Amino acid sequence: MTCVAIVGSPEKPSLRHTLERLRQWLAPRAETVFAELTYDSSRALPARPELLFVLGGDGTLIAAVHNLRQNQVPVVGVNVGKLGYLAEFTVDQLEREGDFLFNGPPPLTRRIMLHVRLERGDGEVFECPAVNDCVVLAGPPFRMIELLVQADGEEVAEIRGDGLIISTASGSTAHNLAAGGPILEPTSASFILTPICPHALTFRPLVLHSSRQIVVRVAQANAGTTMVVDGRDRQPFDVQDRIVLSRYPADFLLVRNPRRSIWYALRHKLMWGANPAT
């Protein structure tokens, strides 16, 4: 039988009932080798699951992918949150239609991630993967900052404004979209550089191939200038530091709902292309 693991948001005690309901549905179909309400999906890895069910919203799913690091396994997102953009299934849908998960290889979208490495002037290093994005924010006292961007050692731009978003294709519909960046197909092997409130109209979003190594330095910062990865890991960013971004060695493997096109969530949840209400 297929070995599966289940994790879920520990901040939602009501999920215990959902977790047990999922276990009961899985019982005749798979062997559940780990089941716990935790963000730390790495605790399931010693049991070698072939599928990871994640209960919660997109934030819970992203946390689970982070904790898998380079040991990525296919993730089935079970939405019990609000939007559920990445989490394509509900428990009801799995109970009605989920047998396909065990009748052959499940349909996957293989999505690239960012390897984020913050190198401080004192030699200290912070690094982690990013599913959606790495963002530099001006921070208090909220004066304009100046960032220097290079790609493969060549100068790309000096950006003045409120910050910069470096996004994956998965993150193109997140902070990047809100800041006016382009939407990419989820499997695109590309990174997006989107300035936040740039000082000049000449700064526009830029799409780069994921084989590039991107380096971001700050020439002018505020006391609170910060690097934020996927909205969860926050690190101060100062003039002695630099951020080195490249493609992460492992890809994020998201099980796709075969009854939905890859554009379903974009059209039905973000209302892309919808006509204005009359």
Distance CA 167, CA 164 (A): 10
| 251 belongs to the catalytic site | no
How many helices and strands, by DSSP H and E, does the chain display?
Answer: 5, 18
Distance CA 272, CA 262 (A): 13
- Which of 58, 133, 162, 241 is labelled catalytic? 58
Amino acid residing at 209: H
The 3 state secondary structure assigned to 195-220 is EECCCCCCCCCEEEECCCCEEEEEEE
The 3 state secondary structure assigned to 159-194 is EEECEEEEECCHHHHCHHHHCCCCCCCCCCCEEEEE
Q: What is the Cα Rg of the chain in Å?
A: 20
Classify residue 28 by burial, with Cβ atoms within 10 Å: 0-12, 13-18, 19+: exposed
Task: Residue 165: name the closest of 83, 229, 239, 233 by CA.
Answer: 229
Task: Residue 56: name the closest of 7, 112, 2, 1 by CA.
Answer: 7
**H or E element at residue 134:** strand 133-137
Residues annotated as part of the active site: 58
